[in-house]
Amino acid sequence: MYKPFRYLCDIHPIRAAKKHAGTMSQDHSKKRANLRDVAKAAGVSVATVSRVMNAPKTVSQQTREKVEAAMTALRWRPSAAARAINSGRSRFVGALVPTLDNAIFARFLSHLESGLNLHGLSLVVATTGGDPKVETEKAHTLLDIGAEGFVLSGISQDPALLDLIDHMQIATIVTSFFDPNYVLPTIGYDNAEASRIALAHLEGQGHRDIAVIHGPKSLNDRTRARLQGLGDHHPDSALTFYETPLSTRGGCDAADMVLQQARRPTAILCLSDVLAAGAMSELQRQGIGVPDDISVMGIDDLPSSETLYPALTTVHLPVASMGTAAADALALWVEKGEKPAPRRFGPELALRASTRRVS
């Protein structure tokens, strides 16, 4: 093991060196090579090796080749921890998402990740289960392992998280949500507008009796914003609300509830595509034709929604571009310190086969 000699004076011959002698077995268990090993092997100083990594042009070609040969021979890779301790850079950011079980987050993350990779950043994903306490907890963990920035989904409910972000001055972008006045930059779509588009489509087709199926309101600002968007409906419209777990199973159960009502609606608006998928299959199971007997509509536009039978009419949320934009914005913030401006992506109607005009 390496042993540097720091104390050259002999007036106070402070304890010279630990005796590692007993555990010395340099033969094969040489562990991972470090920068000093490389320097020794190449016959140069540690600074020169470091320069080969960080400023190659300041090192002569000859020396550089020697050092590079030594690096290869020892299979040396710089330790991120040691580098982080100096530069404060870890080159990764953390994303906090409620779940991976919903394809919408999976899609978003895959675009976020590739976008970040383009900027030389890695992505660490943590799931929160939608619990703000867990979110704060995981944010701490991410910070502890060295994350340089955060990507959040929706506006957090826990003030402790905002406090942490503020105190640590850590670059943080909020996605899946748009609010230009929020303390943190939001890069996302307007959830209220998405549901407004959906409702307008159904009302435009003549539907006036609409069942609305949605996921849990509590702790989910996206769901709440979507519900809010329905506030301003046609004066003759009657909306009935059904809350259910956010899964296809939940969609089935809610649809079953809808059918048990005395008065059957002409359309079901699901505030999430997974709910719509469940609802449609339940309707079919009970012999109700979609869209002949009841129109069904979703919001999200999952990749699989297009290939359902019938193909699901839904509101397309540009999660892919949102992921890329969030990656670019966060990279800029982390690298250059430029806090990005909020950015809004417009939802769009994806008209397919699961809704139809009624008299």
Q: Which residues would be at the binding site for a copy of itself (CB under 8 A)?
A: 6-9, 11-12, 14, 32, 75, 77-82, 84-85, 90-92, 99-101, 103, 106-107, 109-110, 113, 122-127, 140-146, 167-168, 247-249, 251-252, 274, 277-278, 280-282, 284-285, 303-304, 306-310
In whole angstroms, the minimum distance from the beta carbon of 170 to DNA comes to 15
51 binds, among DNA, a copy of itself, none (CB under 5 to 8 A by kind): DNA
Return the number of the residue (75 or 263) whose C-beta is nearest DNA: 75
| 5-13, 153-161, 263-271, 306-314 -> range binding DNA (CB under 7 A) | 5-13
293 binds, among a copy of itself, DNA, none (CB under 5 to 8 A by kind): none
In whole angstroms, the minimum distance from the beta carbon of 115 to a copy of itself comes to 12
In whole angstroms, the minimum distance from the beta carbon of 62 to DNA comes to 6
Q: 26 φ, ψ to 5°? A: -65, -10
| Among 189, 271, 268, 174, residue whose Cα is nearest residue 227 | 271
| 28-36, 151-159, 263-271, 312-320 -> range binding DNA (CB under 7 A) | 28-36
Return the number of the residue (197 or 308) whose C-beta is nearest a copy of itself: 308
261 binds, among DNA, a copy of itself, none (CB under 5 to 8 A by kind): none
Contact between 15 and DNA by CB under 7 A: the answer reads yes
> Which of 10, 21, 24, 60 forms a contact with DNA (CB under 7 A)?
60
Q: How far apart are CA 122 and CA 53, in angstroms?
A: 20
In whole angstroms, the minimum distance from the beta carbon of 138 to DNA comes to 20
284 binds, among DNA, a copy of itself, none (CB under 5 to 8 A by kind): a copy of itself
CB 53, CB 78: distance < 8 Å: yes
| Among 226, 268, 270, residue whose Cα is nearest residue 244 | 270
Q: Which long-range contacts (CB under 8 A, 24 or more apart) does 152-159 make?
A: 152/96, 152/184, 153/95, 153/96, 153/97, 153/98, 153/105, 153/177, 153/222, 154/98, 154/220, 154/221, 154/222, 155/179, 155/182, 155/186, 155/221, 156/132, 157/132, 157/219, 157/221, 158/132, 158/133
> Which of 47, 73, 341, 351 forms a contact with DNA (CB under 7 A)?
47
In whole angstroms, the minimum distance from the beta carbon of 129 to a copy of itself comes to 9
> Which of 40, 68, 78, 353 forms a contact with DNA (CB under 7 A)?
78
Contact between 72 and DNA by CB under 7 A: the answer reads no
Under rule CB under 7 A, which residues in 79-108 are in contact with DNA? 79, 81-83, 85-87
> Which of 62, 181, 307, 359 forms a contact with DNA (CB under 7 A)?
62
Contact between 21 and DNA by CB under 7 A: the answer reads no
Contact between 286 and DNA by CB under 7 A: the answer reads no
Binding residues for DNA, rule: CB under 7 A, are: 1-8, 14-15, 17-19, 32, 34-36, 43-51, 53-54, 58-60, 62-64, 76-79, 81-83, 85-87
